Amino acid sequence: TFFEMLGNFSFGDYFKRDAIKYAWGFVTEVLKLPKEKLWVTVHITDQEAEDIWVNEIGFDKSRMSRLDEDNFWQAGDTGPCGPSSEIFYDHGEDVAGGPPGSPDEDGDRYIEIWNLV
């Protein structure tokens, strides 16, 4: 089995709001992944991303984690950097593991499918 994680970096042409909307639309409308099987993470300081997910996308906040270092992307010590948001797929309760940021996150239940930087 082969899986290539999706990701995008929004430098200049579009920003956080559009990136989140594009990713969500692709995952839910094109790939037709069930919304109730998806989990989202945002950086602990990124209230803007949380507001977009909850208020504009309509994402259920109970399926969201606020993370620190795991949601901060940087290209080396001096390159571009900033908070990121990630989309995870939930394989269900019969697979071991907990949501991102939980003590059980190392299991296979949740797999990251998209990184929005």
- Does pLDDT of 95 surpass 90? yes
Name the pTM for this structure: 0.87
pLDDT of residue 73: 74
For the stretch 56-69, pLDDT in tens is 999 999 999 998 87
Average pLDDT, integer, range 2-30:
79
Tell me the pLDDT band of 76, cut-offs 50, 70 and 90: confident
98 — pLDDT class (breaks 50, 70, 90): very high
Distance CA 103, CA 108 (A): 13
Confidence of residue 117 (pLDDT cuts 50, 70, 90): confident
Can you list the domains of the chain with their CATH numbers?
6-116 (3.30.930.10)
Residues 6+ apart with CB under 8 A from 94: none
Q: C-alpha angle 73/38/84, rounded to 5°?
A: 15
Place of tokens 């709001």: 17
Percent of the chain at pLDDT above 70? 85
